[in-house]
Chain A
């Protein structure tokens, strides 16, 4: 009786590893292409893919629940964020992505429920109009289902900073949905 749970635990770990490797093998072209597109060098692309795989090991349970098309998207977006982080780390002056959002005046507090009244399509269009950093942080939270501390760790900032950024992104989004075209 004793060895059974032990064996199951070991098998579970092995299964996770094989699952992730199978996903990587299936989608490696998209992953490397995404990484190359951002980093422009094979070495940096490899680093970004490696970082993404490390990040994905923390999300195995979530990945297992996703349908295959979403698994591919999850891998691609994870690589994208890792590549952007890598660029940010290597080139802090690059304002494209450094994990920190610039200080911007807070948008006027939007009225409550504006997002709940908007459809998915409108929200999607509005997210696409957000500044890139805000858009990516929204994807981290709502697509990669990362918690504040996970986002903070990945971006190298404090969890409090992440909360501020997310609130600001949501406010900008709500302002856009209210028709304030130049909200962000």
Chain B
């Protein structure tokens, strides 16, 4: 690729990204409502379209690939058969003969090895790790109905592990020392504690809960503004820190607040019985680092 092509590519990339950012910024709440409704109506069509398209690809391209694969394997098998080593000839004067009778050599009795005595081996310590994301078994019904939730976003979710020694913020919620976000909520009214935290290049996530329920609230900071999948069937908008936050409720009552602030996207998700104060918790967001 020559320099001119490279420059054109970079310029076009920048144009595309800028157009996308502009689109993201100008998307207003009525549009979001309309789009969400449109998305739900169109969801099944898109799934069917993808199914059909990939079946079609399987039918044509994949068939040829499989046929080529089989042909290669058969050719390899035939080559291996042709190249098999010749049987070693017997020494001169020695003729092969069939044994006149078949004798079975006595097989030794199997010896019984005594079972090893049970000695207490050091078992790995099982830390009551928080459940970072509900597994499929805990999949909300809304997802089963084809409605996306942030829990099921399969891409780039940070690994959440039990937290290290926390550092207390002035407000009282312990911030894990490994927290890589620039913001952290300062208010938590339910007596919960941080049970897990994780981060990757794009987001930092913390899970709050108690010993009996380790994952009742999840707070995620995306390091840049993001368009996130819908998280519930009911949506409304609540004022928050000078912006409007999208408040979504899933069929199970899980409440999710999503809002943009300072060029970042934040998402706070709470189980039904902890949903009451999440606006206050979201509003308590404090900048803790640059």
Contact = CB atoms under 8 A, between A and B. Distances in A.
Interface of A: 1-2, 5-6, 9-10, 13-14, 16-18, 20-22, 24-30, 32-34, 36-37, 42, 45-46, 49-50, 53-54, 57, 68-70, 72-74, 76-77, 80, 113, 115-116, 118-120, 123-124, 127-128, 135, 138-139, 141-143
Interface residues of B, number: 55
Interface in B136-161: 148, 153-156
B43 to A, nearest CB: 9
Contact of A124 (B4, B15, B58): B15
The 4 A-B pairs with the shortest beta carbon distances in the complex, nearest first, are: A142-B12, A143-B12, A73-B16, A123-B11
Contacts of B31: 33, 36
Interface of B: 2-5, 7-17, 19-20, 23-24, 27, 31-32, 34-36, 38-39, 41-42, 45-47, 49-51, 53-54, 57-58, 62, 65-66, 69-70, 73, 148, 153-156, 202, 224, 227-229
B54 A49 contact: no
A22 B35 contact: no
B57 to A, nearest CB: 6
B50 A33 contact: no
Given A30-B20, A73-B19, A18 B38 contact: no
Given A25-B148, A36-B35, A120-B10, A73 B20 contact: yes
A33 B4 contact: no
Given A22-B154, A30-B20, A53-B46, 8 more contacts: A13-B58, A22-B155, A26-B153, A28-B39, A29-B227, A57-B54, A70-B13, A142-B11
A123 B28 CA distance: 31
Contacts, number: 161
A5 B74 CA distance: 13
Majority SS at the chain A contact face:
helix
Contact of B46 (A10, A50, A116, A128): A50
A73 B22 CA distance: 11
A29 B32 CA distance: 7
A120 B15 contact: no
A142 B8 contact: yes
Contact of B23 (A6, A34, A69): A34
Contacts of A29: 27, 32, 35-36, 39, 227
A18 B155 CA distance: 11
Tell me which of A13, A28, A53, A54 has the highest count of chain B C-beta atoms within 10 A of its own C-beta: A28
